[in-house]
Amino acid sequence: MNTFNILAVDGIANEGIDLLRKSFNVEVRDKISHEELLEVIPKFDALIVRSASKVTADVLERAENLKIIGRAGVGVDNIDVQAATERGIIVINSPDGNTIAATEHTFAMMLAVSRNIPQANQIMHTGGWDRKKFVGVELRNKTLAIIGLGKIGAGVAKRAQSFEMNVIAYDPFVSAERAKNLGVKLVELDELFKTADFITVHMPLTNKTKDMISLVQMKIMKPTVRLINCARGGIINEKDLVTALTEKIIAGAAIDVFENEPLAEDSPLRTLPNIILTPHLGASTVEAQIGVSVDVAKGIIDALNDRPVATAVNLPHIPGHVLEKLAPYLDLGERLGRTITGMSKEPISSVQVNVNGKIADMNSSLISTAVLKGMLSAALEHVNLVNANILAAERGIHLSEVKSSIARDFANVVTVSANGNIVTGTLFGNEGRIVSINNFRVDVDPHARILICPHINRPGVIGAVGMLLAKHGINISSMQVGKAEIAGRNLMVLTVDNPITQNVLDEMKSLDSIFDVTPVAYDV
């Protein structure tokens, strides 16, 4: 038997424990205090937790032998991932173990809200009988809108089609070909909100998806629409949801996740008759608990046998001498990926990464992976150098790499091309810079919030933009005006200190001589 010692806490399903015991020493403590964890952690090589135990920096300081932490579930909020990374400890989770459970719970919530099942059940248990009060609607021939076509969203689409529903979806990282294979029509958000009878959310919570559905969006929906959220609290604005349900702006909602959990006892959501609430039950099935246990066990077995782990949420091990040279280019690649995504008006199905210069002789494929990481991180959680290629492939994104030891203008450059856009970056010292956008020469710091504005090259354009942003209280911290051999055209890149609302963007686009305005935020 291998001498590795594993500690499993918080009630891990036996199936995963049994798998580990075939190769390692496993100690199980379903309940353990923080003080006890601090005391025993030094002797263990691996730790498995659910959500109860907090793997904090003080625990990791004492974890002198720890090589990997496994979270039997999706979220890793109870683990100090940064501290673990700094100590070279891999952190893994189980992003797919509860996929079926969450998919089925979504559909259960949709059926329940369409037929008023919980309300009718409650009346029956109190001696009542009121059929007229609980007349529902059928799913057949209704339009289901899915926001996020990952594994759960795709699973919901498949089940909806068996109910003869018309399925539309929004996902900026899914190609038209992938959607067609799923039998789903891709649409923009405005069309989705206007046409859907049911809307279900399957996106991660990011700065971009926070309050994605607020009163503004609810007011353009059909008054008969029903909202379902089994993804993340905070994507649907809860205060606005109360208003929309109270004023009958929308017909109903079914919510499993909340901005703050557990949901406050005095939450107004609890008082509304046209909403169904469940206490974050999306992953609460026997099968899901077994699934996450087995997934994490397999990841730990791979890690302790020096094999790559696809569910790592932090960086994989890279030899120090390689990482020292590559690290700045990995950061640059990620930010170029974020930039090319921000510039793309359509879902990206193909991306090309050109690596030129001496870095082409190194393991530069990691740079391409970093580009994918940047592309996907704006909309997905837990994207890293291990799983970025897998996630991109699942979304129909094809990556091509071109390497050459010859570089023009700079010693080493990385160029990313997608959907007709081209962004090039290099290092000034160890600092990444964007030096070209669509063949316009610039010098842009890709660590800030920027606006990319192609425009007609004439007097007054730059001043008009500056005055408009000043009117809205938005500070411009730097400005670059590109140069290219395109007659009459130029490119302005602004670094701004404040978030830019859609209204401001629309106003900028309406300015005379401005072709477009593209915001790119690197701090999502």
Q: Which residues contact 344 (CB under 8 A, 6 or more apart)?
A: 172, 418, 419, 421
Task: Please give the Cα distance from 235 to 218 (Å, whole number).
Answer: 13
List the beta strands (DSSP E) in 257-329: 275-277
Q: What is the pLDDT of residue 83?
A: 87
In one-letter notation, the amino acid at residue 325 is: K
Max alpha carbon distance in the chain (Å)? 82
Task: Please give the Cα distance from 293 to 16 (Å, whole number).
Answer: 5
Contacts 24+ apart (CB under 8 A), 470-475: 472/504, 473/498, 474/498, 474/500, 474/504
**Token reading at 299:** 């990841």
Please provide the DSSP assignment of 227-256 as one string. Answer: EEE-S-TTSB-HHHHHHHHHTTSSSEEEE-
The DSSP element (H or E) to which 291 belongs, if any, is: helix 286-304
- Catalytic residue ranges: 232, 261, 280
Report the C-alpha dihedral over residues 120, 122, 124, 129, rounded to 10 degrees. Answer: -50
Task: Please give the Cα distance from 4 to 27 (Å, whole number).
Answer: 11
Task: Please give the Cα distance from 46 to 62 (Å, whole number).
Answer: 13
Q: What is the DSSP letter of 236?
A: B
Structural domains of the chain, ranges and CATH numbers in brackets:
5-95+287-304 (3.40.50.720), 99-277 (3.40.50.720), 318-437 (3.30.1330.90), 447-524 (3.30.70.260)
State pLDDT tens for residues 188-221. 999 999 999 999 999 988 888 999 999 999 999 9
In one-letter notation, the amino acid at residue 449 is: R
**Token reading at 279:** 């206490």
Contact indicator for 48, 9 with CB cutoff of 8 Å: yes
- In the three-class reduction of DSSP (H, G, I as helix; E, B as strand; rest coil), residue 226 is classed as strand
Q: What is the pLDDT of residue 523?
A: 60
CA distances for 68 relative to 46, 76, 262, 315, 441, angstroms: 5, 13, 29, 12, 45
CA distances for 388 relative to 74, 214, 311, 312, 413, angstroms: 16, 30, 10, 11, 22
- What Rg, from alpha-carbon coordinates, does the chain have? 25
Burial class, 189, CB count within 10 angstroms (exposed 0-12 / middle 13-18 / buried 19+): middle
pLDDT along the chain (524 residues), means of 10: 86 95 95 95 96 92 95 86 83 89 97 97 94 95 96 96 98 90 96 98 88 97 98 95 98 96 95 96 92 94 83 67 78 94 90 93 84 88 76 90 90 95 94 93 89 90 92 92 72 90 91 90 64
Q: Which residues contact 418 (CB under 8 A, 6 or more apart)?
A: 340, 344, 348, 350, 351, 352
Task: Please give the Cα distance from 188 to 196 (Å, whole number).
Answer: 12
Q: What is the pLDDT of residue 7?
A: 98
In one-letter notation, the amino acid at residue 340 is: I
In 3D, which of 203, 523, 229 has the Cα closest to residue 380? 203
Task: Compute the half-sphere exposure of residue 5: CA atoms within 13 Å on the CB side of its CA.
Answer: 12
Q: What is the pLDDT of residue 524?
A: 40
**Token reading at 71:** 């979270």
Q: Which residues contact 330 (CB under 8 A, 6 or more apart)?
A: 366, 367, 370, 385
State pLDDT tens for residues 416-436. 999 999 999 999 988 999 999
In 3D, which of 521, 518, 520 has the Cα closest to residue 453? 518
